[in-house]
Amino acid sequence: MTSQKRDYSRGSLAAAAGVNLETIRFYEKIGLMPDPPRAPNGYRTYGHEHLKRLVFIRRGRELGFTNAEIGNLLEMVDGVYACDDVKRLALANAGVIAEKIEDLAKMKSALDAIAAQCSGGETPECAIIDRLLEE
């Protein structure tokens, strides 16, 4: 067990969660993070539960969920959720990612192919330009 700080300012929460300072305010605006309690001076104060939530959001983003999807996941977390629904969302996401990978792979092989045809000198003939201008 490591000791856990219970209170965070906006800056320290951002650092602890590994997100940008302003991102927290942005998540607050779009409803992913709650309006936190304020210190007498108006400063936001956060606790460990906020850190968990923010790390959840960050990890979700890293897994390719959109903010809207993370909103859905958080609703499930906040309420009762069926594992089923979560799994469906995750698999749908994996499918979308697979498609993106395929598209990118096509893009890359097209690029590699035309770059390979390109002599690369100082000449004004270029296979890449030609290819893009093709009728």
Question: Which residues contact its own copies (rule: CB under 8 A)?
Answer: 52, 56, 59-60, 62-64, 73, 76-77, 80-84, 86-87, 90-91, 93-94, 97-98, 100-101, 104-105, 107-108, 110-112, 114-115, 118-129, 131-133, 135
Pick from 54, 45, 42: nearest CA to 9 = 45
* Among its own copies, DNA, none, residue 132 binds (CB under 5-8 Å by kind): its own copies
131 binds DNA (CB under 7 A): no
Indicate which single residue of 6, 34, 37, 66 sits in contact with DNA (rule: CB under 7 A): 66
User: Is there binding between residue 72 and DNA (CB under 7 A)?
Assistant: no
Q: Please give the Cα distance from 15 to 10 (Å, whole number).
A: 9
> Which residues are within 8 A (CB) of 30 and not within 5 positions of it... i.e. 6 or more apart?
67
Residue 121 sits at the vertex; the CA angle it makes with 117 and 123, to the nearest 5 degrees, is: 95
Phi/psi of residue 71, nearest 5 degrees: -55, -45
Residues that bind DNA (CB under 7 A): 9-12, 19-23, 25-26, 38, 40-44, 61, 66-68
